[in-house]
Amino acid sequence: MTDSCIIRHFEHYAELGQDDRELLDSLEKTPKDFSKGQLIWQQGMESDHFYTVRSGWACSFRNMEDGSRQVQDLYVPGDIVGLREFAFRRRVSNLLTVTNTTLCPFPKNRLTDVFSTSRLLCNLFFLIAARDQAILVERLINLGRRTAREKVAHFLLEMAHRLDKACMDVHDCNHLPLTQVLLADALGMSTVHANRTLNELKQESLTALGPDGITLLDRDGLKDVAGFDPEYLDADVEGLLKNIGAPASSQPA
Amino acid sequence: MTDSCIIRHFEHYAELGQDDRELLDSLEKTPKDFSKGQLIWQQGMESDHFYTVRSGWACSFRNMEDGSRQVQDLYVPGDIVGLREFAFRRRVSNLLTVTNTTLCPFPKNRLTDVFSTSRLLCNLFFLIAARDQAILVERLINLGRRTAREKVAHFLLEMAHRLDKACMDVHDCNHLPLTQVLLADALGMSTVHANRTLNELKQESLTALGPDGITLLDRDGLKDVAGFDPEYLDADVEGLLKNIGAPASSQPA
DNA sequence: CGATGGATTGACAATATTCAAAGACAGTGG
DNA sequence: CCACTGTCTTTGAATATTGTCAATCCATCG
């Protein structure tokens, strides 16, 4: 059997039985390649699929009336994109590739079949949804109650940490392929201010800025700046598996 | 059979079979009363239950190092509190009552039983989690890319709209029992600035301020200020029910 | 080579925070 | 019934933070 994208994703958490593997494999469609800067879906379109990210980065965002933009989340290899839209007939935001990207589509309305068929997968999907919420909450706190310095440092650390866990084909988890425009739109600040803040951190040798993105040079230093605690990124998979009586993965999350 | 809190909650969405009713009823524990300003749980505590709100308001929040506070979400009658923590062993935030409140506890680890037993309830739980995400995303946009005026107007409209749908025992959905401190902490601004903004809206006869909270006087006017679109609050329950082949509720959401 | 999208800079303006003080109000206990 | 307390609200003035505008730089790409 091929190791489809979503199977790899779930085996990251737990050991799947043959049934589960076949189920997922039958539902995942062939991967699709997208080039950098491509708009994958738009607000208002019918939300019939979600995607797993096989490689590359993407972001979801909303265009505001005044022409500005709010980036809601970034997606790295291993992430599932569009689970949010389970509750809605139409897409509530736009999705854009940040780099060249390969995505694996999965039909949304088949999710209910998965829930019925596999106790394990059902619970894992729910766990993922809960972790997604935790990420959103942390971003909320970032926007609401942190200074620009803290925002930037915190966000960079979060993405690096998420890359750490995703690390499938990713070489250097300290390098983030983000433009400053994107960073600013994710953190609700102006590009100019993002730039100044980033250069401030660069002066302190905490980050490096290149034409191909941002590099974290000193995670501990950044952690001091941001007060970063990665707990919200570490879902308690073991506890869940124990509760539902499933075997843990040999390759812990 | 008694109509437990969570049954009422789900019957809001769909017609439950006798099995589902019995299942939920067997799991829900006796309601607990909390007085205004009571801390229900704290960050770091074991997250063994979630709650449905039978009456009153509550909020989840995080205390920051500098002494400030970020309110993550408010909960009104009919809401489920703590689903987020499904993925975590310990609570990731604090929960506080805003008014006198009655909550119905539900053991977290029994959720997996519900998933296994009832196709309908499983899907509804997932839908609720997805809608929760949509609410968080909208708050994110609020914090990131809107002015203070827009933030306040948008937030008030959201809460009023959520009350509209919840309206079980609520008399006046235009009245929100919020202090200005709470509002400010939810919107990531200072109390002083929240106060000034609120008084600006009061000058324009859009809101009224009393000792017992904030009242919306002119929803259309506020909608003009905020660019509010309630779509993200209206989950597509019908589409879901059709997909899983369940009968719709006579009392549509 | 010019076009393009991002990065950078300085000057200025708008927005929001802080600090400090005072007013309003409900609840408490004498 | 009254003072006393604590919480929430309101206000002004000074300050800090962040955004806007406009220009320039720089690398890449066709």
Which amino acid is present at A109?
N
- The CA-CA-CA angle for residues B54, B60, B62, to 5°, reads 165
Q: Is residue B249 part of a domain?
A: no
Q: What tokens appear for B128 in the block?
A: 């609720």
For residue A253, pLDDT over 60 is answered with no
pLDDT tens figures, B5-33: 788 888 888 888 888 898 888 888 889 99
Domain boundary among B91, B112, B145: B145
**Between the CA of A193 and the C1' of C12, what is the distance in angstroms?**
15
Name the A residues in 163-192 with CB < 8 Å from any B CB. 187-188
The verdict on A165 and A216 lying in the same domain is yes
On whether both A96 and A153 belong to a single domain, the answer is no
* Angle between helix B191-203 and helix B148-166 axes, rounded to 10 deg: 80
- The answer on B71 and B20 residing in a single domain is yes
The set of strand D positions with any atom below 7 Å of a protein CB reads 7-13, 17-22, 27-28
List pLDDT tens digits, range A76-121. 998 999 999 999 999 999 999 999 999 999 999 999 999 999 999 9
> What number is the average pLDDT over the span A59-70?
96
Determine what percent of chain A is predicted with pLDDT higher than 90: 79
Angle of CA points B143, B148, B153, to nearest 5°: 90
Q: Strands A175-176, A80-81: parallel, antiparallel or unpaired by DSSP?
A: unpaired
The predicted structure's pLDDT at residue A6 = 82
Is a pLDDT exceeding 60 seen at residue A1?
A: no
Distance between A186 CA and the closest CA of chain B, angstroms: 8
Percent pLDDT > 70 in chain B is 94
CA dist., res. B108 & res. B129, Å (int): 14
Residue A17 included in any domain: yes
B59 and B131 share a domain? yes
| pLDDT tens digits, B223-251 | 999 999 999 999 999 999 999 987 766 55
Nearest CA among A72, A34, A71 for reference residue A55? A34
pLDDT at A3 over 80: no
Q: Which of B125, B145, B165 is the last residue of a domain?
A: B145
In chain B, which among 11-70 make CB contacts under 8 A with chain A?
62, 64-65, 68-70
Q: Does B141 touch chain A (CB under 8 A)?
A: yes
* Separation in Å: C27 C1' and B31 CA: 28
Same domain, A116 and A162: no
Which pLDDT belongs to residue B253?
Answer: 45
Q: Quick one: closest CA in A to B88, which residue?
A: A236
- CA distance, residue A236 to nearest chain B CA (Å): 5
Query: Could you report the per-residue pLDDT of A172-185, keeping only the tens digit for each?
Result: 889 999 999 999 99
Are B188 and B141 found together in one domain? no
Mean per-residue pLDDT of chain B:
92
**A120 shares a domain with A139:** yes
Residue A117 in contact with partner chain B when CB distance is under 8 A: no
Q: Are residues B47 and B137 in the same domain?
A: yes
DSSP chain A: ----HHHHHHHTTBPPPHHHHHHHHHH----EEE-TT-EEE-TTSB--EEEEEEES-EEEEEE-TTS-EEEEEEE-TT-EE-GGGGG-SB-SSEEEESSSEEEEEEEGGGHHHHHHH-HHHHHHHHHHHHHHHHHHHHHHHHHHH--HHHHHHHHHHHHHHHHHHH-SS-S-TTEE---HHHHHHHHT--HHHHHHHHHHHHHTTSEEEETTEEEES-HHHHHHHHT--GGGG---HHHHHHHHT-PBPSS--
Confidence bin at A11 (pLDDT 50/70/90): confident
**Is residue A203 one of the residues assigned to a domain?**
yes
Tens digits of residue pLDDT in B128-181: 999 999 999 999 999 999 999 999 999 999 999 999 987 666 678 899 999 999
Domain ranges, residue A165: 147-234
Q: Which of B46, B109, B61, B102 is nearest to B79 (CA)?
A: B102
A245 part of a folded domain? no
- Do A141 and A41 lie in one domain? The reply is yes
| Within-domain flag for A53 | yes
Q: Please check whether residues B35 and B118 belong to one and the same domain.
A: yes
Q: What is the pLDDT of residues B179-214, one digit of tens each?
A: 999 999 999 999 999 999 999 999 999 999 998 999
More confident residue, A195 or A169: A195
Which of A 85-114 lie inside 8 A of B, CB atoms?
A: 85-89, 92-93, 109, 111-112
Flag whether the pTM goes above 0.85.
yes
Taking the CA of residue B198 and the C1' sugar atom of nucleotide C20, their distance in angstroms comes to: 21
B183: domain CATH number is 1.10.10.10
Has residue A118 been placed in a domain?
yes
Average pLDDT over residues A197-219: 96
pLDDT digits (tens, 9 = 90+) for A115-154: 999 999 999 999 999 999 999 999 999 999 999 999 999 9
For residue A16, is pLDDT > 50?
yes
Domain containing residue B114: CATH number = 2.60.120.10
Average pLDDT over residues B108-133: 95
In a domain, B248, yes or no: no
- Is pLDDT above 70 for A248? no
Task: Return the number of CB contacts < 8 Å for A and B.
Answer: 154
Nearest Cα residue in chain B from A126: B126
**A25 and A109 co-located in one domain:** yes
Domain boundary among A145, A162, A192: A145
Closest nucleotide to A146, Cα to C1': D17
Mean pLDDT calculated for residue range A203-229: 96
Is the domain of B164 the same as that of B141? no
Tally the domains of chain A.
2
Q: Does B253 fall in a domain?
A: no
Region B31-59 average pLDDT? 94
Residues with CB under 7 A from strand D: A 147-148, 188-190, 192-193, 211; B 37, 179-181, 191-192, 195-196, 198-199, 209, 211
Is residue A7 very low, low, confident or very high in pLDDT (cuts 50, 70, 90)?
confident
Cβ of A130 and B86 within 8 Å?
Answer: yes
